[in-house]
Structure 1
Amino acid sequence: MEVTIVGAGLVGCLLACFLARRNHQVTLYERRPDPRTEGADRGRSINLAISERGIDALRRLGLDREVLAEAIPMPGRMMHATDGTLTFQPYSADRAHAINSISRAGLNMKLLDAATALPGVEVRFGHRLTGLDERSGRLEFESGAVGKAQVIIGADGAYSAVRSRLQALPGVGFSQDYLDYGYKELSIPARDGEYAMDPGALHIWPRGRSMMIALPNPDKSFTCTLFWPHESLAALDTPRKIETYFAENYPDAVELMPDLVESYQGNPVGHLVTMRCSPWHVTTDATAIGLIGDAAHAIVPFYGQGANCGFEDCVELDRCLDETGDDFPRALELFERRKTDTDVIARLALDNFVEMRDKVGSRMFLAGKRVEHALERVLPRYVSRYELVSFSTTPYAEVERRIRAQRRWATAGALAGLAGLATLARLIGARGNGGRDTT
């Protein structure tokens, strides 16, 4: 079967690998030039945190070792207070689990290499989709090129041109919710050839309504990302304002950023949006058209699950093709069952933004984490939500069900323990009064 994938980003390339393994002929259309020769867009990389769901997808294709060879494990968060105090928060009780920092651009290039090395895969760069006719399968591109396909899969991101066409069709629903926040990329270079901070952590500067994060790179630098309200980003419109604000709010970071002003003024502001679409596919007599990854369900990046979720989409679609004997119309219809899970992770990602921005530095939050890790050590069945999301392939919706169940039996156990203590106290009291019960 000939399959057209629109979008040669992370998910599009990985999906091409899965489909080529099934002996399908795959053509990838990408609006950008080849990043392996032209380089990545400046200021929009946002390092990725690859965890088990993404690794599982790579492992199925034999790509996990190659990718992880250039990733940096981060077994926890490092919190930076305004007074310079550092607090490390491990992701798991035994510190055995880690998320992995990796360059989005670097990973994209590796996946492009993997896809184009397979027989039957072709990538056509510089092809921006401008027209799609679902009745005939005709694709039109800004360059004037024309294509035609029976199976078309949109892997072209949050602002998908394929989804834009589907939205115009009867019965297709779509919603988008923007945060009133933007993001801007900065960097902390190596200092004397070494990391300027601990590379074994995701660094977070929580500042109430805003925050900055930093992830390590193999060249000993850190990629930093500001997540601020749009008005705050716009307010720093002079070098002096930039320097003063950072000195007051990020004093331990500003001295590590020699290019702060240039990067702040030169790098673009990105937008944070949650997008939902239903259904993810449309089938006609001539074509089967589907959506995958951010094209179907864009989420904000605060659980580190955007790429991981998109990679898991590829695994699920591959599973659907197994179940339907590579019948794409039926497989794309079956693939819709994943929407329950993607709706859950979209909500969790928004919740985690509030946690990272407002709560991670509070004493109450830290105490709660210590209790949670204590429960993990003494109760083998107890696993935190973060661990289930990041270090397992348990479906997102099942994670929610399991966490609710854990809370019920943990609460019941605590109440039973308190009741037992109260009974013991009464017995001790009764003995102290000559055996008379004073209740």
Structure 2
Amino acid sequence: MQTSKKIAVVGSGLVGSLLAIYLRHRGHAVDVFDRRPDIREVEFSGRSINLAMSFRGWKTLEEAGIDEAIRKIAIPMNKRAIHVVDKEVYFQPYGRDGEAIYSISRGLLNKKMIDLAEEAGVNFIFESKVWDVSLSEAIIYTGDTEKSPWEAHKYDIVFGADGAFSRVRHKMQRSSMFNYSQEFLEVGYKELSIPANADGSHKLDKNSLHIWPRGNFMFIALPNLDGSFTCTLFLPHEGDNSFAALTDEDKVKDFFEVYFPTINDEIPNLIRDFFKNPTSALVTTKCYPWVHGNTVALIGDSAHAIVPFYGQGMNAGFEDITTLNHLMNVHGDDWGTIFQEYQKERKPNADAIAELSYRNFMEMSSKTASVDFQLRKKIEAWFSSKHPELWLPLYSRVTFSNDSYAEALAMGDMQAAIMDKVMQLEGIHMDWNSERVESFIIEELKK
């Protein structure tokens, strides 16, 4: 057991709300501050990428005792559906025996998480802008504007869960020996949608994550409970095929007719939504340290924002909470040790999933359309099914296992080197599932 503390969580997003539930379960008094209005009372912004809940996320929800409540608003996706121009849709299973990731509306999940947190006794303070933090004293200062009078709120501990552009981290950045970097991708994104059929059914396979790979850009669609799909266009900010080039209705229509002809007619509000919904940036942020003494800690995107192409941003943030919870079990009231061990364990893994997420954009946008890539995945799945003790594919290691992200990255690099050699074998397209190939991989693993 821990001695009850007065704790502030800055940010009412997914990680902040779930962390608050964990802290309440331990008997702490928890206030959650957010500069935004209560998301349950406003229309969602059209700035979402539907979430893909995987094993790590479910584990954190299960330990909080709320996984079943969340499963009711989730749809399993056991495969990718790859839409290549002028070819049949190609399906690629994600894992073994129906293993699946789960599509969840970000807005719906966030609303549900806040409801569950309030039921647990968490106090939410919306439309309250945090402008400054006294790190050593765990005091946060709120006010209407940066120059208006501020109100001081004293706590024992403050958690910064306020996202990639965290105000709490901003204060920590002004400390000596604080390292920080941010890197924007040249690709941005825009949310669109495919509505349900008249009878409420889905227009596309509902248990797939749909991808239209087009080289340096792509379109994806994830299913919703109401029969619709939340879609995201990932496109360079500048260049020939870019957001900057799509300046009027005719150009947008022509672009979709050329590159996405099979779904062009399935997006009736294409023009309206394209110009109404914002074009958003994709950023990777890294920093260290994540903590200040035993009073302040960063968590989730505040500590490690990543691009969304591995579907692990939320899952990584939830795993931060799992780690913190374990350390609280071990170290009790020693928050200094809890925080030090937390950042030491999580920082290498956050860096690893950032790297994996960056790499996966190339896989999703271009490689999935390649015949060689599809064969490569078939060989991995075949060998893994015969020798599960020797080979767990990188995607499965990240998505369906407890292995650390850092270990997954290292093992993935080793396996990729072996598969590069496999794909160079003479006649590989003819006898990819032969004893010859099996023996070759086994010998390479022995090395």
TM over 0.5: yes
- Tell whether 2:393 aligns with 1:391: no
Q: Following TM superposition, by how much is the alpha carbon of 1:419 offset from its aligned partner in structure 2, in angstroms?
A: 12
List aligned pairs for 1:17-416, cutoff 5 A.
17-40=21-44, 42-83=45-86, 85-92=88-95, 94-119=96-121, 121-143=122-144, 144-193=150-199, 194-231=201-238, 232-283=242-293, 288-337=295-344, 338-381=346-389, 382-403=391-412
% identity of equivalent residues: 40
Amino acid of the structure 1 residue aligned with 2:27: N
User: CA, structure 1 residues 303+268, in 2 after alignment: closer, same or farther (shift >3 Å)?
Assistant: same
For residues 64-111 of structure 1, what are the alpha-carbon distances to aligned partners after superposition, in whole Å with 9 as ceiling and x for unaligned?
11111111111111111122521111112x442011000011111111
Q: CA deviation at 1:129?
A: 0.9
Deviation at 1:380, TM superposition (A): 2.2
Q: Is the 1:75–1:95 Cα contact (8 Å) retained in structure 2? A: no
Residue of structure 2 in register with 1:6 after alignment? 10
Letter in 2 for 1:65: E
Q: Secondary structure at the match of 1:365?
A: helix
**Aligned partners of 1:187 and 1:297: how far apart in 2?**
29
Deviations 1:3-45 (A, max 9, x none): 11100100001001111111111111011111112232x2112
Secondary structure of the structure 1 residue equivalent to 2:262: helix
1:338-370 Cα deviation digits (max 9, x unpaired): 111111100000010110011001000000011
C-alpha separation in 1, matches of 2:299 and 2:401: 21
CA contact under 8 A between 2:136 and 2:292: conserved in structure 1?
no
Structure number with greater Rg is 1
Contact in 2 for aligned 1:129/1:141 (Cα 8 Å):
yes
Name the CA shift for 1:415/1:213 in 2 (closer, same or farther; >3 Å): closer
Return the letter of the residue paired with 2:407: E
Q: Extract structure 1 runs of 4+ deviating beyond 6 A.
A: 407-416
Q: Which amino acid aligns with 2:51?
A: L
In structure 2, relative to structure 1, the CA distance for the partners of 1:264 and 1:3 (3 Å cut) is: same
* Shift in CA distance, 139/407, structure 1 to aligned 2, threshold 3 Å: closer
Q: Tell me the alpha carbon deviations over residues 364-421 of structure 1, each in whole angstroms, 9 at most, x when there is no partner.
A: 000001101110111121211100111112111122344456678998997994699x
Task: Tell me if the contact between 2:212 and 2:260 (Cα under 8 Å) persists in the aligned partners.
Answer: yes
Q: Is the 8 A contact 1:159 1:295 kept in 2?
A: yes
**For the structure 1 residues 224 and 328, does the alpha-carbon distance in structure 2 shift closer, same or farther, using more than 3 Å as the test?**
same
Question: 2-side partners of 1:416 and 1:209: how far apart?
Answer: 34
Provide the C-alpha distance between the structure 1 equivalents of 2:85 and 2:156, rounded to a whole number of angstroms.
Answer: 57
Residue type of the partner of 1:188? I
Q: Which whole-Å CA distance do the structure 2 matches of 1:257 and 1:118 have between them?
A: 40
SS of the residue corresponding to residue 39 of structure 1 reads coil
Unpaired segments ≥5 residues, structure 2: 145-149, 423-434, 443-447
Conserved? CA contact 2:16–2:161, under 8 Å: yes
Q: Secondary structure at the match of 2:120?
A: coil
Using the TM superposition, give the Cα deviation of residue 235 of structure 1 relative to its aligned residue in structure 2, in angstroms. Answer: 1.1
Write the letter of the residue equivalent to 1:71: A
What amino acid is the match of 2:100?
A
TM-score of the two chains, using structure 1 as the length reference: 0.90
Q: Contact 1:84 / 1:251 at 8 angstroms: preserved in 2? A: no
CA distance in 2 between counterparts of 1:354 and 1:313 reads 27
* Matched-pair contact (CA < 8 Å) for 2:9–2:16: yes
**8 Å contact kept, 1:6–1:12:** yes
User: What is the match of residue 436 of structure 1?
Assistant: none
Shift of 1:328: 1.9
Q: Residues 57 and 198 from structure 1, CA distance in 2 versus in 1: closer, same or farther, beyond 3 angstroms? A: same
Q: Secondary structure at the match of 1:235?
A: coil
Residue identity opposite 1:371 in structure 2: I
CA contact (8 A) 1:293 1:313 kept: yes
Tell me the distance in 1 between the aligned counterparts of 2:136 and 2:392. Answer: 49
Asked if the contact 2:331/2:338 (under 8 Å) is kept, the reply is yes
Q: 1:317 to 1:82 in 2, by over 3 A?
A: same
